[in-house]
Structure 1
Amino acid sequence: MRTRYPANTNLVVIDNGQYQGWKVNSRPLSKQYLDAILRTMHAALDEHPRTLMVRFDLHLPLLNFDDSPRFYDSTVISKFFKSLNAKIQHDRAVKLREGKRTHPCTLRYVWVKECREAATDHYHVAIFLNNDAYCHLGSYSNGGNNLRARIVEAWASAIGVDEFVAEDKVHCPSKPLYYINRNSVGFTTSFAKAFERLSYLAKLETKHYGDNTRSFGCSQR
């Protein structure tokens, strides 16, 4: 018999540390979120057999300065991904115009909105990119031509603040990069480690329920 989560009975609870043969976080997790994470990972690998997964957190600013927005609605995370994708595609186009070898790159992602773990709500995010196009984050600096700078710039655009403010709101946890190569002998191990890491995003606690806001999302293709 399936166990439903009391705060949202649409969600089925997984709490045995395993899902579809993969090791997952031992906390109570959402079956629906785990399914969406797996679909996104497989979609990324179907298009880009060498996939780079990047984990980072996006924090909303405290609304305590004169020119801060009055509030942030649920569109802020969509604005972030739209901006980040535009920056990635612009980077691809610039390299192509410069005559450099250019690999196509489709941005895919999963995100969860968390509460009660920090002073403000924040997002846990994972993005999936073509590893032939991007292989590292780089360090942020104004005008920096690297992936981390694009993430900071996209978050600044989404929340309507200067980039130096947004820089402090983008946090990369320990070991944020995962390299998953479908054609390598270590594929199963690398996929398993990445999925176990992402299963934390499927935890049922610390999510918003009953307030008409989304707590989870992923790319649709």
Structure 2
Amino acid sequence: MVHSNDNDLLKLEFNNLLAEAQRCYGGISSHHLKKSLDVVQSAIATFGRVFALRVDLRCANDAIDEQCDMPLCFQRNDPKVITRFIAALNSRIKANLQRKGKSAKPDYPLYIWVRERDTSKYAHYHLVLFFNKDIYGYLGCYQDSDGENMGTRVQKAWCSALGLAYPDHKHLVHFPLNGSYVFNKRSMDLKPEHFNNFLNRLAYLCKTRTKIMNDGLRNFGSSQV
């Protein structure tokens, strides 16, 4: 049972995070921030120890310029592309665990994604993926196209979702600097510096400035928790 004092404390912490995010990034969707924190809490409750990974996904430049009639590539960048990406990543995780002889139901990652567009022709996606740290705890050497690690799985899943060849288009996946975090229930309670840094970076996904508001499509999605 959560006491009223606990609720007041949680509300205060949320308001402090929201205020700090607004100071750093401008307008913030409080609804998206609340949903994002719900996923963080669900990841901790589900996995115990959590490995969180920031990822950016972009579409290819498919023409030399807007007047060019000859496309450089044909990509499937429709609104379902992010759904295909999550499904492709889960499929690769399942296959990896089966090769290791782990036949139990896989701990698929939880996720948060946002769809944005700045000056580019196509939208791009910012994500946070949440893994069970006891199974997947590292990004790995994703520069090695033949490597078997979480970085290359993400790259292959995005290329698959776009219908583009790997490794030719693996550069469309970007892993931000210092974008890996490990935390647990104790982190949520004590708020060490690295966890506060993670929450601030999570809040970046909830900024409103570059969200696409007028095309009738979703610009935020997350695991159902």
TM range (shorter): 0.7 to 0.9
Contact 1:181 1:187 in 2 (8 A): no
Q: How does 1:97-108 map to 2 (within 5 A)?
A: 104-108=106-110
User: 1:117–1:56: structure 2 CA closer, same or farther, 3 Å change rule?
Assistant: farther
- What residue is the counterpart of 2:113 in the other structure? 111
1:196 is aligned to 2:200: yes
User: Following the alignment from structure 1 to structure 2, what is the Cα–Cα distance between the partners of residues 84 and 175?
Assistant: 22
User: Following the alignment from structure 1 to structure 2, what is the Cα–Cα distance between the partners of residues 151 and 112?
Assistant: 16
Find runs of 4+ consecutive structure 1 residues off by over 3 angstroms.
20-24, 117-120, 183-187
CA RMSD of aligned residues (A): 2.4
1:32 is aligned to 2:31: yes
Contact 2:118 2:210 in 1 (8 A): yes
SS of residue in 2 equivalent to 1:192: helix
Contact 1:52 1:129 in 2 (8 A): yes
* Alpha-carbon shift at residue 194 of structure 1 (Å): 1.5
User: 1:53–1:185: structure 2 CA closer, same or farther, 3 Å change rule?
Assistant: closer
Contact 1:52 1:130 in 2 (8 A): yes
Residue type at the aligned position of 2:132: N
* Alpha-carbon shift at residue 118 of structure 1 (Å): 4.4
- What residue is the counterpart of 1:88 in the other structure? 93
- What residue is the counterpart of 1:19 in the other structure? 14
- What residue is the counterpart of 2:174 in the other structure? 171
User: Following the alignment from structure 2 to structure 1, what is the Cα–Cα distance between the partners of residues 186 and 106?
Assistant: 19
Residue type at the aligned position of 2:35: A
- What residue is the counterpart of 1:63 in the other structure? 62
* Alpha-carbon shift at residue 56 of structure 1 (Å): 1.3
- Which whole-Å deviations, capped at 9, do the CAs of 1:54-87 have from their partners, x for residues lacking one? 0010011112234413x62110001000100111
User: Following the alignment from structure 1 to structure 2, what is the Cα–Cα distance between the partners of residues 188 and 117?
Assistant: 36
- Of the structure 1 ranges 29-38 and 192-201, higher mean CA displacement relative to structure 2 is found in 192-201
SS of residue in 2 equivalent to 1:53: strand
TM-score of the two chains, using structure 1 as the length reference: 0.82
| Matching residue within 76, 79, 83 for 2:84 | 79
* Alpha-carbon shift at residue 213 of structure 1 (Å): 1.3
* Alpha-carbon shift at residue 117 of structure 1 (Å): 5.0
Q: Percent identity?
A: 29
Q: How does 1:81-160 map to 2 (within 5 A)?
A: 81-96=86-101, 104-116=106-118, 118=120, 120-140=122-142, 141-160=144-163
User: 5+ unaligned residues in a row in structure 1: which ranges?
Assistant: 1-17
Contact 2:140 2:151 in 1 (8 A): yes
User: Following the alignment from structure 2 to structure 1, what is the Cα–Cα distance between the partners of residues 120 and 139?
Assistant: 25
Residue type at the aligned position of 1:68: F
**Higher helix proportion, which one?**
2
* Alpha-carbon shift at residue 91 of structure 1 (Å): 1.2
Q: How many residues align?
A: 200
Residue type at the aligned position of 2:94: Q
SS of residue in 2 equivalent to 1:91: helix
* Alpha-carbon shift at residue 185 of structure 1 (Å): 9.5
Contact 1:37 1:218 in 2 (8 A): yes
User: Following the alignment from structure 1 to structure 2, what is the Cα–Cα distance between the partners of residues 135 and 103?
Assistant: 18
* Alpha-carbon shift at residue 39 of structure 1 (Å): 0.7
Contact 1:207 1:215 in 2 (8 A): yes
Contact 1:103 1:132 in 2 (8 A): no
1:53 is aligned to 2:52: yes
SS of residue in 1 equivalent to 2:33: helix
User: 5+ unaligned residues in a row in structure 2: which ranges?
Assistant: 1-12, 64-70
